[in-house]
Structure 1
Amino acid sequence: MDMVMKLGAESPVVILSKSTCCISHSIETLIRSFGANPTVYELDKLSNGKEMEKALIELLGSKSSVPAVFIGEEFVGGSIEIMSLNVKGKLKNLLLKANAIWI
């Protein structure tokens, strides 16, 4: 779990994903559409990816481990949480607060 949280604090926006996950790609595209440049870690390409995936399953409390999104060093959640923030108009403000984008 510590490794996941450490990666999540490395830049204003961090996305943990898998190279074959279309939902992860969609979330990355959404975040980039605001002008943010997220750091993306693809678990299936990391040597300790399986271990990190297990930690994410615990953190998310679900069967799916990706995408997992950190904004401003805080774990925000998975695709449902990110989409919900976007629909409510709160995602942009969160990205601004984390200095991931500027106006």
Structure 2
Amino acid sequence: MAASNVGAAAAAALKFVRGVVETNPVALFGKTYCPFTRKVRVLFNELGAKYKETDLDVVENGDILQLVLTKATGQPTVPYVFIGGDFIGGADEVVPAREEDADDCLDLYTKQTYEGLEEVRMTAGTYKKVTSS
């Protein structure tokens, strides 16, 4: 692939990722066969969470999407979880937080989903603080 084609593909991938993250209160980028993605998916389903899932091993240019996600987040592996447009982390950050305090996690998700993105914005730090207090 020529350098200009790679640059164009990366730009398109970044646009796609931003679109998914900005238009969905909860976004999950993972892989169908990944046990860590499965843990997050199970958690969200147990919570009754409405989330947008993108399987990088199925979607076109998934390898480029993962490169873009790695560069944007600093995390080289799936899953990538975004809540309210902010990168939260992977299964290691999301699943233990839920197990420590399911009520806070559910409350945070509910606020995010029903109060709207503009009213409830958070960073990974505030997410950890809310879910571990």
TM range (shorter): 0.7 to 0.9
Which one has a bigger Cα radius of gyration?
Answer: 2
Seen in structure 2, the aligned counterparts of structure 1 residues 48 and 85 have a Cα distance that, compared at 3 Å, is same
Q: Which residue, 7, 19, 26 being the options, matches 2:39?
A: 26
Q: How far did residue 4 of structure 1 move? A: 1.9
In structure 1, C-alpha distance between the alignment counterparts of 2:94 and 2:71, rounded to whole Å: 18
Higher relative contact order, structure no. (Cα contacts within 8 Å, ≥ 6 residues apart)? 1
Q: Which residue, 47, 57, 63 being the options, matches 1:50?
A: 63
8 Å CA contact retained: 1:69, 1:77: yes
| 1:63 lines up with 2:105 in the alignment | no
Query: For each residue in 1:4-53, what CA deviation from the matched residue of structure 2 results, as whole angstroms up to 9, or x when unmatched?
Result: 23211222211101111121011111011111122111011111211110
1:81-100 to 2 correspondences below 5 Å: 81-89=93-101, 90-99=104-113
Query: For each residue in 1:44-88, what CA deviation from the matched residue of structure 2 results, as whole angstroms up to 9, or x when unmatched?
Result: 111121111012222342331x11111122221111110232134
Q: What is the one-letter code of the residue matched to 1:71?
A: I
In structure 2, C-alpha distance between the alignment counterparts of 1:11 and 1:61, rounded to whole Å: 21
Query: What is the match of residue 13 of structure 1?
Result: 26
Report the TM-score when normalising by structure 2: 0.64
Query: What is the match of residue 74 of structure 1?
Result: 86
8 Å CA contact retained: 2:24, 2:84: yes
Consecutive unaligned residues of structure 1, counting only runs of 5 or more, are none
Consecutive unaligned residues of structure 2, counting only runs of 5 or more, are 1-13, 115-133
